[in-house]
């Protein structure tokens, strides 16, 4: 009986093995590329690992879709399951759109943010009660950025607002500032 199973599903088994090998290669080279970008851009290792985690989840999703196609699962039945699941997930994500937008902004900031931890910045945000002063970027996380003010207060600023508001670079951590500088 086992022999007939292998003969009957030989194409699917080979396709599954090939798919898993391709997914492992994509995961390896994707992680390697992200680490290289992180190192070249002098990005914190924790942020780099977070982006690798997001990419791995995406690759896994694509892999599950590919395996579904390889094994020829009935799309009508899967459509019913997915439409029900997406309806529930859609309502949940709509309620949590801000979290999702901050995660997406965190990924965008990883690849294109001109500032890094230790930089001095000025944030122009009239809607929030941020003092008009210079902040030091203390940490960049998945949902928000930690900004330290001159008087030592710690502010958490959402990643999505960092993309929407005007942010100016005042100086970097490596710069030698004289005692007359603000920080």
**Cβ(86)–Cβ(94) below 8 Å:** no
**Cβ(123)–Cβ(165) below 8 Å:** yes
Q: Where in the chain is the domain with CATH 2.30.30.60?
A: 115-171
- Give the pLDDT confidence of 120-176 residue by residue, as tens digits: 988 887 776 666 678 898 888 878 889 898 888 898 888 888 888 888 888 765 554
DSSP 8-class letter at 167: E
Quick check: 181 pLDDT over 60? no
Quick check: 89 pLDDT over 90? no
Q: Where in the chain is the domain with CATH 1.10.287?
A: 2-108
Render the burial of 39-75: b for 16+ CB within 10 Å, e for the rest: eeeebbeebbebbbebbbeebeeebeebbeebeeeee
Which option is the CATH number for 2-108: 1.10.287, 3.90.550, 1.20.120, 1.20.144? 1.10.287
For 115-171, CATH gives: 2.30.30.60
- Give the pLDDT confidence of 34-75 residue by residue, as tens digits: 999 888 888 878 888 888 998 999 999 899 888 888 888 776
Q: Which of 174, 177, 167, 127 is nearest to 147 (CA)?
A: 167
Quote the pLDDT of residue 115: 80
């Amino acid at each position: 009986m086992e022999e007939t199973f292998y003969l009957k599903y030989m194409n699917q088994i080979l396709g599954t093995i090939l798919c898993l090998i391709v997914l492992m290669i994509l995961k390896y080279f994707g992680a390697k590329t992200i680490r290289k970008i992180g190192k070249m851009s002098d990005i914190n290792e924790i942020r780099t690992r977070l982006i690798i985690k997001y990419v791995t989840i995406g690759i896994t999703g694509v892999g599950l879709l590919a395996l579904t196609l390889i094994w020829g699962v009935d799309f009508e039945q899967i459509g019913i399951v997915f439409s029900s699941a997406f309806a529930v997930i859609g309502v949940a994500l709509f309620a949590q759109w801000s979290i999702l937008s901050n995660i997406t902004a965190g990924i965008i900031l990883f690849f294109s943010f001109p500032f890094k931890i230790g930089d001095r910045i000025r944030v122009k945000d009239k809607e929030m009660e941020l003092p008009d002063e210079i902040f030091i970027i203390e940490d960049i996380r998945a949902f928000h950025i930690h900004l330290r003010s001159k008087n030592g207060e710690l502010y958490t600023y959402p990643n999505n607002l960092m993309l929407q508001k005007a942010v100016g670079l005042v100086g970097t951590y490596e710069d030698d500032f004289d005692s007359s500088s603000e920080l």
